[in-house]
Structure 1
Amino acid sequence: MPSPIPATRLLPKDLYPSPDTGTCSSPLAKYSGDATLKVPVHNFPRRAAGRLWSSVVQWKELRSMQPIGSGGFGSVYKARYLGETVAVKTVKKCAKNKLASRQSFWAELHAADLRHANVVRVIAASACVPSTLEHENSIGTVVMEYAGSRNLHSVIYGSTEAIAADRWLAYATDIVRGLGFLHSHGVVHLDLKPANVLVSKDGVCKIADFGCSLKLDKACEGGGAAAAAAAGRPPSPAGGTYTHRAPELLKGERVTAKADIFSFGITLWQLLVREQPYTGDRHHILYAVVAHNLRPPVQGKPAFQTGRGRACETLVCRCWSGDAPSRPSAPALLGHLDEMRTHS
């Protein structure tokens, strides 16, 4: 695995973690019944008080913790917080790569200042961990809105019931709206896939899990390689899900918002075809995606044989083009999806 990118090259200046990262990698204090458990100032941005999220988690107000998921990243709980149903995510400390674990925790906050109907809202975050969760060896806690118990992966693969065209179009539109909002604020997700898109009880898709995200410098967003080098943008980081990862990232090239568009193309294919994108050896797939332009199959798939399906096939193939600049932007995608509603 490549050496992790220094945290100061991933985050805006006001979100740099303290050089004394030891205090971020283990609980700072144990919950003892106090109303709040404050984090030392040097562990959080000085401007936190003016932010839309809080750098203080009121642990006494965090009640009814129920585990709802876990993985290599840590664990997620459903809970009640200040009268609101929330999701609580603990970020696990990786013994093999502690810096990568810390970077993942801080990356969760890249969209913390942003509010959009199709992006999961961050409520509070802390480098502290309550004593009830210390056994998880976590380095931090993020309190987020609870968007429901379903994700797009379970919608696609958890039922044999067909997904109506109006429904998958609505899901796709929600995702692209969320991406467009993030990209307009310089945030790239870099791990977009059905499992990281939550579906609310009202059927609204919300982009979640920003542990692989980056905040791009303005000079890098529209400039070429020289602009990226001048702005100090590192090569693309390791991480994310290989089946949805753009070929330029697999080659270690610079990050742009078009990497998320590639991932969206794979996700849209899954929505229509409801199969896994690839089968076989991971390393062979990675090589073929880069060297032989391997993509999920579209020929012979019933989903692409209607008028709307053929329009969607064209769009999907543009999204996963090997040439990043030729992929459509999120605003352009919205226009194409809107036009697709007229096809039958």
Structure 2
Amino acid sequence: MGELLLNTPKRKQLLKDGRPVSTRCQILGRGAYGTVFKAIYRDRSVAVKIIRAQATSTLHNESHLMNLQHRNIVRLLKLESAVEFGLVIMECPRGQCLQRIVDTLALPLMHRVLITLDVVAALRYCHSQNVLHLDVKPTNILVALGIKSSGVGNFSKVKRSYICKLCDFGSSIEMGELCARQDPTNANGTLRYMSPEVLRSDILSEASDIYSLGITMWQLQARRLPYHPLDCNETIAYQVVKHELRPDNYHQLKILALDCPGDSNWNDVMYRGANSSARRNLSLDPSYTAGRGDLKKKCRRNRLALHFDSNGPAPEASACLESAYSNLYKSCWVSAPESRLSSFQLKHELELILSPQK
């Protein structure tokens, strides 16, 4: 119930007419160029993104996922296009996007590190295949729940019941491919996570993805929308490029918020109270029901907490380890791409943080 059956006639109809009329179809998420629905394809549960054909670049970018097969990347099963619409059919693991988890739980440092290591592994693989993702953020990281998984690398004794998968390659490019971004505020990707070189339309590299991951790491710790006091994307882009504004510079953000009358009230600083239109819900939890009641929130929090306390509560991180984590994301978002940590260096430093918590 609530799932599209993607047989051949139905796919042809979707390619012609776009999103289904039925209100019973379960929507997993909405983006600028299309909507994601829960569906059945070849007797398996999948997610299908229906994209308007005018967004030809998005369909082209999604095709980069076709040859990528990695445990930390959502698998693309089929891509079809027609005159009016295109279909992107992907695996649909049981779980939630990282954004919803951050909205619900304060993640212990150990899990923030494990999540980041999963994303680093996905990016390292993408980069080895000459693909840049260019839209790394919590809404594009799916946390598949209920999967018994060991830690990474030398940390096989660290047990957990989830694995993270990078998704949404609608902004991806092949390395060396021209990426015209005449107006950064209308570009593919998400401005609050874009590196200075992306905003300037410069030549891009692996470092551009590392920058976005650094912003994401900060968000996992702070649980706030990047640059949360500001609504004006033009202001954010200018300040990031010209004055090296970063989301942890609360003093500068407060001054800018006071100078920009259209921006958010500084007192509205908690992430869950920030501009909700600036984030998308790509929850892949079929049991999730939207609701604001305290009981529903508590139940959802308790259900999620089970996956992040599978072996009892994670050990509390020391101030020293939290500081090390902060220093890492700051090393990822320096302005000069060549001065940022490489994915190999980031992986190594994250593993050092994890070592005392084994």
**2:242 is matched with which residue?**
291
Amino acid at match of 1:119: I
Paired residue secondary structure (1:313): helix
How far apart are 1:239 and its partner, in Å? Answer: 2.1
How far apart are 1:268 and its partner, in Å? Answer: 0.3
Distance 1:32 1:204 in 2: 30
Paired residue secondary structure (1:192): coil
Paired residue secondary structure (2:64): coil
Question: How many residue pairs get matched?
Answer: 256
- Shift of the 342–36 alpha-carbon distance from structure 1 to 2, 3 Å rule, reads closer
Distance 1:197 1:268 in 2: 12
Say which of 193, 199, 203 aligns to 2:143. Answer: 199
**1:151 is matched with which residue?**
97
Question: Is the contact made by 2:197 and 2:203 (CA closer than 8 Å) also made in structure 1?
Answer: yes
**1:277 is matched with which residue?**
226
Question: Is the contact made by 1:304 and 1:313 (CA closer than 8 Å) also made in structure 2?
Answer: no
Distance 1:149 1:299 in 2: 33
Question: Is the contact made by 2:179 and 2:201 (CA closer than 8 Å) also made in structure 1?
Answer: no
How far apart are 1:210 and its partner, in Å? Answer: 0.6
How far apart are 1:169 and its partner, in Å? Answer: 1.2
Question: Is the contact made by 1:175 and 1:206 (CA closer than 8 Å) also made in structure 2?
Answer: yes
**2:343 is matched with which residue?**
330
**1:127 is matched with which residue?**
81
How far apart are 1:71 and its partner, in Å? Answer: 2.8
> Aligned ranges for residues 219-298 of structure 1 at < 5 Å?
233=178, 238-278=187-227, 279-280=229-230, 281-297=232-248
Say which of 46, 59, 66 aligns to 1:112. Answer: 66
Question: Is the contact made by 1:265 and 1:319 (CA closer than 8 Å) also made in structure 2?
Answer: yes
Q: Deviations over 1:8-28 (max 9, x none)?
A: xxxxxxxxxxxxxxxxxxxxx
**1:209 is matched with which residue?**
168
Paired residue secondary structure (2:347): helix
The answer as to 2:115 corresponding to 1:174 is no
Distance 1:288 1:119 in 2: 32
Distance 2:180 2:32 in 1: 24
Distance 1:215 1:208 in 2: 16
How far apart are 1:314 and its partner, in Å? Answer: 1.4
After superposing the two structures, state which structure 1 stretch, 82-91 or 120-129, moved more: 120-129
**1:85 is matched with which residue?**
45
Distance 1:291 1:112 in 2: 37
Q: Deviations over 1:106-127 (max 9, x none)?
A: 1101021110011010011111
**1:320 is matched with which residue?**
333
Question: Is the contact made by 1:247 and 1:290 (CA closer than 8 Å) also made in structure 2?
Answer: yes
Question: Is the contact made by 2:106 and 2:223 (CA closer than 8 Å) also made in structure 1?
Answer: no
Distance 2:73 2:165 in 1: 5
Amino acid at match of 2:163: V
Indicate the structure whose relative CO is greater, using CA pairs within 8 Å and at least 6 residues apart.
2
Amino acid at match of 2:348: G
TM-score with structure 2 length normalisation?
0.66
Paired residue secondary structure (2:341): coil
Amino acid at match of 2:118: D
- Shift of the 204–287 alpha-carbon distance from structure 1 to 2, 3 Å rule, reads same
State the superposition RMSD in angstroms: 2.7
Fraction of identical pairs, as percent: 32
Question: Is the contact made by 1:235 and 1:255 (CA closer than 8 Å) also made in structure 2?
Answer: no
Distance 1:331 1:342 in 2: 17
Question: Is the contact made by 1:77 and 1:89 (CA closer than 8 Å) also made in structure 2?
Answer: yes
In the TM superposition, structure 1's runs of 4+ consecutive aligned residues that sit over 6 Å from their partners are none
Q: Deviations over 1:281-310 (max 9, x none)?
A: 22211111011110011789xx99711111
Amino acid at match of 1:91: I
Q: Deviations over 1:175-228 (max 9, x none)?
A: 1110110011110011111111111113211111011100114xxxxxxxxxxx
Distance 1:241 1:36 in 2: 29
The answer as to 2:303 corresponding to 1:307 is no
Amino acid at match of 2:173: L
Unaligned runs of 5+ in 1: 1-30, 38-63, 130-137, 218-231
Amino acid at match of 1:192: V
- Shift of the 36–175 alpha-carbon distance from structure 1 to 2, 3 Å rule, reads closer
Q: Deviations over 1:27-69 (max 9, x none)?
A: xxxx9976996xxxxxxxxxxxxxxxxxxxxxxxxxx953222
